Amino acid sequence: MRDTLKHRGMRNKLAEVVASKGVTDEKVLNAIREIPRHLFLDSGFEAHAYQDKAFPIGAEQTISQPYTVAFQTELLQLKPNHKILEIGTGSGYQTAVLLNLKAKVYTIERQQELFKKTKLFFSKMGYRPKKVIFGDGYKGLEEEAPFDGIIVTAGAPNVPKPLLAQLKIGGRLVIPVGIDEQIMTLYLRKSEKEFEKKELGNFRFVPLLENKN
Ligand code: SAH
């Protein structure tokens, strides 16, 4: 598959749709315009790539809806070189958006099949996250903490404590919290012990799964 002028045109339209739903950050909208989302989908779904919808990516997982990716990214308020932890690598599309905004990205995936596939895809495409890790996102990534931002791309039944603990003072955790439906929740770390919490609307994600072992 290639990236063509036609794809670019479709992406410009997609960015307009995302903007019409309330995303205003030009850098985020620009990432939507630039990243070839059709290459992150299994062939056969290509025609759907530039609709504002989630799609299956195998292993019962989905690539998040572009609006959701843009909304979560906007909430991180990224600056170049921010150190960002992503929980739920999935297709790698959200990772690519973070990289487009010049973040240093550490990303964790618990499905081995997807982990392998997406890691290979990153190297083929020349996307360079700092680390792509097969592991359990509930634990965060202690050895690389603290982070300027943490983004969770699966629905969490509760807020994992290690994620709050691994934020810098001034850092942001963006996490959809809930079981069947999730409330997008933003935690701002004000000091060692204080967090400000904001709830920002309802979304639907595949579940963040706990490791049984
Ligand atoms: N950011 C992805 C969204 C993928 S859906 C994208 O843009 O495509 C959520 C992903 O979270 C799935 O790939 C799922 O396997 C993964 N996931 C679920 N529980 C997890 C956990 N405990 N740790 C890390 N990843 C997890």
Residue 109 lies in a domain: yes
Tokens of 26: 């030009």
Q: At what angle do helices 93-100 and 66-76 cross, to 10 degrees?
A: 40
> How many C-beta atoms lie closer than 10 Å to residue 174's C-beta?
21
Ligand 1, atom 11, lies closest to the CA of 88
Which helix (H) or strand (E) segment is 3 a member of?
none
Tokens of 116: 């392998």
Check which CATH number belongs to the domain holding 18 and give it.
3.40.50.150
Confidence of residue 87 (pLDDT cuts 50, 70, 90): very high
Give the pLDDT confidence score for residue 61 in this predicted structure: 87
Nearest CA-CA partner of 133 in 152, 145, 115: 115
Residue 208 lies in a domain: no
User: What average pLDDT does range 107-130 have in this prediction?
Assistant: 96
Q: Hey, is 170 helix, strand or coil?
A: strand
Give the pLDDT confidence score for residue 211 in this predicted structure: 66
Tokens of 200: 């920002």
User: What average pLDDT does range 83-106 have in this prediction?
Assistant: 98
The Cα–Cα gap between 7 and 10 comes to 5
Q: What angle do CA 164, 75, 86 make, to 5 degrees?
A: 55
Give the pLDDT confidence score for residue 58 in this predicted structure: 83
Residue 212 lies in a domain: no
Answer yes or no: is the C-beta of 137 below 6 A from any ligand 1 atom.
Answer: yes
Does the structure show a pLDDT above 80 at 67? yes
Return the percentage of the chain with pLDDT > 90, whole number: 89
Residue 127 lies in a domain: yes
User: What average pLDDT does range 154-172 have in this prediction?
Assistant: 97
Residue 209 lies in a domain: no
168 or 59, which is more confident? Answer: 168
Give the pLDDT confidence score for residue 210 in this predicted structure: 81
Answer yes or no: is the C-beta of 56 below 6 A from any ligand 1 atom.
Answer: no
Confidence of residue 212 (pLDDT cuts 50, 70, 90): low
Answer yes or no: is the C-beta of 108 below 6 A from any ligand 1 atom.
Answer: yes
How many structural domains are present in the chain? 1
Domain span at residue 42? 5-203
The DSSP line for 80-145 is TT-EEEEE--TTSHHHHHHHHTT-EEEEEE--HHHHHHHHHHHHHHT---SEEEES-GGG--GGG-
Residue 90 lies in a domain: yes
Which atom of ligand 1 is found nearest the CA of 88? Answer: 11
Q: What is the DSSP letter of 210?
A: P
Residue 146 lies in a domain: yes
pLDDT in tens, 43-62: 778 888 999 999 888 888 88
CB 94 within 8 A of CB 127: no
CB 167 within 8 A of CB 191: no
pLDDT in tens, 136-160: 999 999 999 999 999 999 999 999 9
Dist. CA 212 → ligand 1 center (Å): 16
Distance of CA 34 to the CA centre of its chain: 16
Instruction: Examine the residue annotation and report whether 64 is marked as an active-site residue of this protein.
Output: yes
Return the percentage of the chain with pLDDT > 70, whole number: 98
Residue 15 lies in a domain: yes
Give the pLDDT confidence score for residue 144 in this predicted structure: 98
What is the C-alpha end-to-end distance of the chain, expressed in Å? 39
Give the pLDDT confidence score for residue 65 in this predicted structure: 95
User: What average pLDDT does range 115-128 have in this prediction?
Assistant: 97
Give the pLDDT confidence score for residue 213 in this predicted structure: 46
Answer yes or no: is the C-beta of 118 below 6 A from any ligand 1 atom.
Answer: no
- pLDDT, mean over the chain: 95
4 or 187, which is more confident? Answer: 187
